[in-house]
Structure 1
Amino acid sequence: MEIALVGLVTLFFAVALYLILSKSIIRMLLGVVVLGNAVHLLIFTIGRLTTEIPPIIPAGTYVPLEGSANPLPQALILTAIVISFALFAFLLVLGYRAYEELDADNTDNMRLAEPEDAPRPPFSY
């Protein structure tokens, strides 16, 4: 099972790299989302996929039992999901505003575009 997930993580990273290197802003944003999902799946895979006992400390002991599950990767993934969703929402609004201002979705056209209400430099001799 872990071998299949490693292959899936590799595929996600390859697709994310391909999308991020694109010239379209929407493709770049989708690449960031796929990259975030690849990292989440990687952390999940690193946290082991074996069936283990829950990480509950029994009464009268101070440490968990031997072979208990590690809850840290799951907590990291939950936190990362929230952060990546907020980052995607911010990037989506930023891309929309750039499209509104520059009337371009392609990064090459954005470099050449000039906002309509951009201040003009004063004429100098």
Structure 2
Amino acid sequence: MEILLALMTGVLYAAGIYMILRRSLVKLILGLILLGNGVNLLIFLLGGITKGKPPVIPDGPAVLGEVFAAPLPQALILTAIVISFGLQSFAIVLIKRAYKVVKTDDLDEMNTTDENA
């Protein structure tokens, strides 16, 4: 299972970087979304996968006898999801406004400083 998730992380990274290198602003945002999901999956994998065990430690024993899920990577991923949602929302509004002003989403055409073009 971990091998499959590691391969999926690589695919998300590759697709995200490919989309970021395109000339369209929409593809740039999609690439950032894919890259963010790849990072979240990587953090999840680094925390370790334990099936069927909640990230709750019982009060009784001082030393843990069972395997449990690490709560810190899960909390980091939840925080990253919220932050990336805010970033994506802001970027989508910014792209919409830029498209209204410039009438294109091509980065090369937006880079020109000619007002008559």
Q: TM-score, normalised by structure 1?
A: 0.81
Corresponding position of 1:13: 13
Using the TM superposition, name which of 13-22 and 48-57 deviates more: 48-57
Residue of structure 2 equivalent to 1:111: 111
The CA distance in 2 between the partners of 1:82 and 1:115, in whole Å, is 38
* 1:3-60 CA distance string (max 9 Å, x none): 1111000000000000000000000000000011101111111111123643434344
Letter in 1 for 2:11: L
Q: Which moved more, 1:93-102 or 1:16-25?
A: 93-102
Residues 102 and 113 of structure 1 are in contact (CA less than 8 Å); yes or no, is this contact kept in structure 2? Answer: no
Q: 1:67 offset after TM fit, Å?
A: 2.6
The number of equivalent residue pairs is 116
Q: CA deviation at 1:115?
A: 6.3
2:69 alignment partner AA: A
| Residue ranges of structure 2 left out of the alignment (5+ in a row) | none
Larger radius of gyration: 1
- The more displaced of 92-101 and 29-38 is 92-101
Retained in 1: the 8 A contact 2:99–2:105? Answer: yes
Per-residue CA deviation, residues 61-112 of structure 1 (Å, 9 max, x unaligned), is 4565553221111111111100000000011111111111111110111012
RMSD in angstroms over aligned alpha carbons? 2.1
Task: Decide whether the 8 Å contact of 1:56 with 1:64 is kept in 2.
Answer: no
Task: Give the equivalent residue in structure 2 for 1:35.
Answer: 35
Amino acid at match of 2:17: L
Gaps of 5+ in 1: 117-125
- TM-score, L = length of structure 2: 0.86
